[in-house]
A and B are shown apart, each in its own frame.
Chain A
């Protein structure tokens, strides 16, 4: 018996406005996905997909999701995802990061993706901190100079009085 083979697509949703879309669910994404497939490829494509189309995971905070489809219909699903404009009357953009035969490899790629994003954030924070440090240093140096000047002026006046 020949096995039914799937493909898992790792995707990332970005919203135009920074709103909290906690109301969006897996079933909601599935609904909109199906409509986009129907729009772009017709009912024949939906019939061919059938039960193989499924949204496996979705994180509303980060925007990462994993979609399953049959191996033969992967390209059509990919395309329909990228052409998805609107979800829940909110404009969005979907980009697909990775496609694989198992969920496990998709999760691996998701880890890499988050690590990268964290690294970026980390580097930004480091830069910010360094700036702040640098500014502080400068301030300190200024203050020192002023102090030294003040101290030197006081000594000069003392020496003059003694004479």
Chain B
């Protein structure tokens, strides 16, 4: 190795090369760089987390160097304040308002958001389902106790004009086929303002768009003559679903060119809760409290006097006359309301009242007292009956009979119709809440209910009866209309008193149990069919899940001949030709021509069409005009076992099969490719009905097929095939009335 030592060395080269190397090495040592930032060259005890975006955390001597580095990729300038200031209550409210502009929040949104799954529907953020499992349990609650649902996303519109003008205007718009019990707006039942009516509006004649709505007339005293009010200005309030809101407004503005009617959205819209179930009466009586104990004492005294003075009949008459003169209108109104309120205790279910009857009350803010839990209807009923005297029992029986057969309009007179009262109530909320809290803090036992200790402010509230199914008596209840700003207080009180809150999914379930169609999931005649919860939430989830699963482990819909398994495709029925035999194969071939490569791909069309819907009483009353394409809504109940599911296919049976079914013989039929059954319709909502104890569904049949197969329809039997199988389930169908 010593050979390789150099013998001669030029000093200059030697020294120069080494000095250069030394310089370079020392410079490298001084700078701790490589693939690290300037901030990482600092020792660990001087490094700070926020140095990357906040220069003030960097030592002063390095700031200039770091600014140059930052100049290439400057940090995002966040206009956010500190987290502490952002989470103060004032700021939180502002953020809520900002967020609620995109998708409108209801007043009870925050309460719902903590306990339910919220979804964006119809421009609102609505509660779709509870966090608990309540799909089957909601039936039990609605049948025995009570259930509450927030319906304040329904928009309220006000029409002001002369009575006759209003009637003629709306008579053009209303659908003549709005059910078997067809009633116009001008019907005598509704004109006095004592009952709520419901009907259907044609929003577009060409595209056949129809939408249901509810209406209430203004108050007229029961003594007066209706004909006197023909040329007087009156008001109507209309409640309509938000999906059809824009269509309604455009329609009426286009027709109202000469300002025939003043049509506008209600300012400070009231909220609407629907309480369903027999113990809704108890719940309301615990929450809606007004000063009637004073009258109660007076009445008791009067009764005693009357009993004593009964023998002297003349004297009693004179006394009663004098008493009626001294009474004011308010006292008389109070008396009547107390009478009604007490007589409600005698009534077992809200279904025994007249359909759509309205009660107005001036009620104390429920925030001022603690609400106790209400017992179930049966217990309350028995307890109440034990403590009554004979006189009182007879009295209540008379009163209850009065109410059930006759509902005077004096019960429905309220201050909610005034614009100014609604404004005052809204403006006075903050003051009242503050006052209540202040007073409660001073008391020893706050929030104890007593008639003497309350302020004079009273909140006008409307209670509207809703009817359930007429055969089962299930699903009846009350709608409570509350002025804006007080929704949360009433909601919390109602929930504490025993009404179980539910979401849209459970409400849909209860509505189908009654046998009625739920808007918008069961209404083909409106474009909101494609914006409904079943389309946006349920069917999308199912389709995504199906696509994720392995081919060998998921249902092969193509093999079963099902084109659109997740959402019913009614337009495919219209496209099919008169030859119904082997129609399914043709449809599949036509649809899959575009997607010939991907054999497993299922057709997904863009749905925008609406379809014509007709109502039918009997098969005999069917009109033989086959030119118009329309669908008929039906309710289906399974004969044998089997739960009927959503989007199932409907077929008509052959003669032999229908004979088998009527004779209750075994029926085992399966679908195959060469099947001769003709596709007739689809099911939009299906489930196992707990009220009936069998499968139940709501669907649509094509009118043409009904007319052709009238022989098969004599027994009103239909075959149902779910999307996940090939088995035919026999079922009976009936025509829907609403």
A residues touching B (Cβ–Cβ < 8 Å)? 14-16, 18, 59, 61-62, 64, 91-93, 95, 104, 107-108, 110-111, 114-115, 117-118, 121, 125
Contact = CB atoms under 8 A, between A and B. Distances in A.
B22 interface: yes
B374 to A, nearest CB: 62
Contacts of B28: 107
SS class, residues of chain B in contact with chain A: helix
Contacts of A117: 18
A107 B26 CA distance: 8
Nearest to B20: A61
Contacts of B322: none
B17 A61 contact: yes
Contacts of A104: 29
14 contacts: A14-B6, A15-B4, A16-B4, A18-B8, A59-B17, A61-B17, A62-B17, A62-B18, A107-B25, A111-B29, A114-B18, A114-B21, A118-B15, A118-B22
A93 B1 CA distance: 7
B546 to A, nearest CB: 37
Contacts of B26: 111
A45 B220 CA distance: 104
Given A18-B6, A18-B8, A110 B1 contact: no
A93 B6 CA distance: 12
B4 A14 contact: yes
B329 interface: no
Contact of B25 (A14, A18, A93, A111): A111
A36 B23 CA distance: 33
Interface string B610-634: 0000000000000000000000000
Given A108-B29, A114-B22, A125 B4 contact: no
A66 B11 CA distance: 25
Contacts of A62: 17-18, 21
A17 B478 CA distance: 110
Contacts of B7: 18
Interface string B4-45: 111111010111011111100110110000000000000000
A111 B22 contact: yes
6 residue pairs, one from A and one from B, having the closest CB atoms: A61-B17, A14-B4, A93-B4, A111-B25, A114-B18, A107-B25
Contacts of A108: 29
A135 to B, nearest CB: 20
Interface residues of B, number: 22
Nearest to A104: B29
Interface of B: 1, 3-9, 11, 13-15, 17-22, 25-26, 28-29
Nearest to B6: A18
Nearest to A59: B21
Given A108-B29, A121-B15, A64 B3 contact: no
B14 A64 contact: no
A6 to B, nearest CB: 14
Contacts of A121: 9, 11, 14-15
Given A111-B22, A111-B29, A125-B11, A92 B4 contact: yes
A100 to B, nearest CB: 14
A92 B19 CA distance: 24
Given A93-B1, A111-B26, 8 more contacts: A59-B21, A61-B13, A62-B21, A93-B3, A95-B1, A111-B29, A114-B22, A117-B18
Given A61-B13, A62-B21, A117-B18, A16 B3 contact: yes
Contacts of B18: 62, 114, 117-118
B410 to A, nearest CB: 81
A16 B5 CA distance: 7
B274 to A, nearest CB: 58
Nearest to A107: B25
A59 B20 CA distance: 11
A91 B3 CA distance: 11
Contacts of B20: 61
A14 B7 CA distance: 12
Contacts of B11: 121, 125
A125 B25 CA distance: 25
A106 to B, nearest CB: 10
A14 B5 contact: yes
Contacts of A114: 18, 21-22, 25
Nearest to A92: B4
Contacts of B14: 121
